Structure 1
Amino acid sequence: MAEILIKGVAKSFGSFTALHSIDLTIADQEFMVLLGASGCGKTTLLRIIAGLESPTQGEVWIGGKRVDQLPPRERGIAMVFQNYAVFPHLTVYENIAFGLRMKKLPQAEVDTRVKRTAELMHIEQLLKRYSGQLSGGQRQRVAVARALAMEPDVILMDEPLSNLDALLRLEMRAELKGVLANSKTTTIYVTHDQVEAMSLADRISVMNGGHIVQAASPVEVYRNPAARFVGSFIGNPPMNFLPATRNGDGRYHVAGIALDGPSQGGAKLEFAIRPEDLTIAAGGLKATARVIEPLGAHTLVTSEVDGKLFRAVLDSDLKVAPGDELSLVPKPDRVRWFDLETSKAVN
């Protein structure tokens, strides 16, 4: 069992607070992604779990054992870095075997683990080659194989695909997800790429300013953001936002149309809708098309609604030109509302 408990973990560097009392539970064999922009604290949290940084306060537990005061080698973890950290002067076999030999395992056991993980990562034909002769994708496979060969309780991955080109990233994402699921290892994966996060994670922890804003499944994070930040950060293009005011009829008025809103909402809220959850029909938000971007099956229309930029993803068969007046109707079950003061979701 490799359940991970983060209890009240905070980290300060001088007067700067990188993490604010983080509480997070990661289930055994779960694939958790820490997602956020640069500087949000995700790598700092990963390094604290790894033992490369010490928390200013709080505790880290792995498999029912407190580890925040233990050295990295005693935590049952393996780490895959952004720059791969493979040794160019060693063969692929020697790179994968390096940690196993440091543990003084018998040679037969080393052979078995190296061959098994090399086959898992489809690099068994490269075992005799020096890693300095490999492509970026091959070196990344070696780094993952080396981590898996250690049979760790936990694998920590810090933006491991960021140095690969787009097509190779796509291939490696699919491969990583399958390999790590089969390895039955608990995985924590750091990225700023929301596509990686959505495609890989069992759950995503969205971070901002040293806080975890929401930890939930990819679908839940996308469809039901717990805060305005999550709605604006997740999704490409992101959510649209407009001010909403409740009038005497009990309904919320948004840019000239009336919508049913949350019964517990205040007099003023913020209306939010994803661009793909809009249709063209009578009685909608009055929009003026500004920029048209064909995307194959769909067209991204950037328009202006009540003086604000407002995006809609429409069927490419609809002919829209700059300057056209549109009526955009939000799908009622996809509308979300946020408190203006706290920025938290109002249901």
Structure 2
Amino acid sequence: MAEIAIKGVAKRFGGFTALHQVDLSIADQEFMVLLGASGCGKTTLLRIVAGLETPSHGEVWIGGRRVDNLPPRERGIAMVFQNYAVFPHLTVFENIAFGLRMKKLPQQEVEQRVNRTAELMHIEQLLKRYSGQLSGGQRQRVAVARALAMEPDVILMDEPLSNLDALLRLEMRAELKGVLAASKTTTIYVTHDQVEAMSLADRIAVMHQGRIVQAASPVEVYRNPAARFVGSFIGNPPMNFIPATKAANGSWSVAGLTLPGPKSDRQKIEFAIRPEDVDAGSEGLQATVRVIEPLGPHTLVTCDVEGGLFRAILESNASVQVGDHLRLAPKPDRIRWFDPETTNAL
């Protein structure tokens, strides 16, 4: 069992606090993605789990064993780096075998593990080639194979696909998900790419300014963001946020539309909805078309509404022109509300 428990972990660099009392539990064989913008603390947290950074406060447990006081080699982990970290002067076989030989495993077992993981990553035909002769995607496969060959309890991945082009990232995402599921290894994966996070993760921990804002399934994070930041960070285009003013009988006035909403002592809160969760019709938010972007299967329309800009995803054959006045009806079960001061969901 390789469950991970991060308990009250904080990290300070001089006067700067990179992590604020982070708590996170990761189940055995779970694929957890740490998602956030640059500087949010996700890589620092990964390095603390790996033993490459020492926490200023808190504990890290792997498989029921406290490891934050142990060196990396004793934690049962393997790490895949952003820059691949393969040795160009060694063959693919020697790269994959490097850690196994450091552990002084018998040659027969080394060969078996190398061949097995190379086949899993579809690079068995490259074993005799030098890694300096490989493409970026092939080197990344070598790096993953080297980690898997160690048969670790936990694999840690720090933006491993960020140096690949878009098409290759798409292919590697699909391969990684299948390979890591087959290996039954607990995985922590760091990325700033929300598409990677949504497609790979069992759960996503969204990080912001050194804190985990929400940790939930990809669907839950997308549909029910726990804080305004989550809704604004996840989604392309992101959620729309419009001021809402308290009206009569517990309802709220939003851009010319009166809607039922949450009970609150505040006079103003925020209405939020995804761009794809509105329909153009005879009723709804009053909007004036500002920009039209045909995107193949649909059309993205940016509008002016009372309170700011509003983006809507309409059918590709929608008959709209710049300057048109629209009514955009929000789907009632997709509306979310946020406290403007705490930024938390209501």
Indicate the larger mover: 261-270 or 168-177: 261-270
- The equivalent of 2:52 in structure 1 is 52
Structure 2: give runs of 5+ residues left out of the alignment.
none
What is the total number of aligned residue pairs between the two structures? 346
User: 2:55 and 2:312 mapped to 1: Cα distance?
Assistant: 44
User: 1:9 and 1:91 mapped to 2: Cα distance?
Assistant: 39
**CA offsets, 1:188-238, max 9 Å, x none?**
000000000000000000000000000000000000000000000000000
Residues 242 and 307, structure 2, Cα contact 8 Å, conserved in 1:
no
Amino acid at match of 2:293: E
- The equivalent of 2:232 in structure 1 is 232
Q: Are residues 1:255 and 2:255 paired?
A: yes
- The equivalent of 2:289 in structure 1 is 289
- The equivalent of 2:42 in structure 1 is 42
Q: Are residues 1:143 and 2:146 paired?
A: no
**CA offsets, 1:84-112, max 9 Å, x none?**
00000000000000000000000000000
TM-score by length of 1: 0.99
Amino acid at match of 2:46: L
The structural deviation recorded for 1:20 is 0.1
% identical equivalent positions = 81
1:1-347 aligned within 5 A: 1-264=1-264, 266-346=266-346
User: 1:267 and 1:154 mapped to 2: Cα distance?
Assistant: 49
**CA offsets, 1:262-306, max 9 Å, x none?**
235643210000000010112211111111100111000011101
3-state SS of 2:279 partner? strand
User: 1:272 and 1:234 mapped to 2: Cα distance?
Assistant: 13
The structural deviation recorded for 1:162 is 0.2
3-state SS of 1:114 partner? helix
User: 1:325 and 1:215 mapped to 2: Cα distance?
Assistant: 39
Indicate the larger mover: 320-329 or 101-110: 320-329
User: 1:265 and 1:230 mapped to 2: Cα distance?
Assistant: 24
Residues 205 and 212, structure 2, Cα contact 8 Å, conserved in 1:
yes
Indicate the larger mover: 259-268 or 176-185: 259-268
Residues 244 and 253, structure 2, Cα contact 8 Å, conserved in 1:
yes
User: 1:150 and 1:185 mapped to 2: Cα distance?
Assistant: 11
3-state SS of 1:230 partner? helix
Amino acid at match of 2:86: V
User: 2:248 and 2:238 mapped to 1: Cα distance?
Assistant: 31
Indicate the larger mover: 239-248 or 117-126: 239-248
User: 1:248 and 1:190 mapped to 2: Cα distance?
Assistant: 46
User: 1:47 and 1:170 mapped to 2: Cα distance?
Assistant: 26
Structure 2 CA distance for partners of 1:245 and 1:307, relative to 1, 3 Å: closer
* RMSD (Å), alpha carbons: 0.8
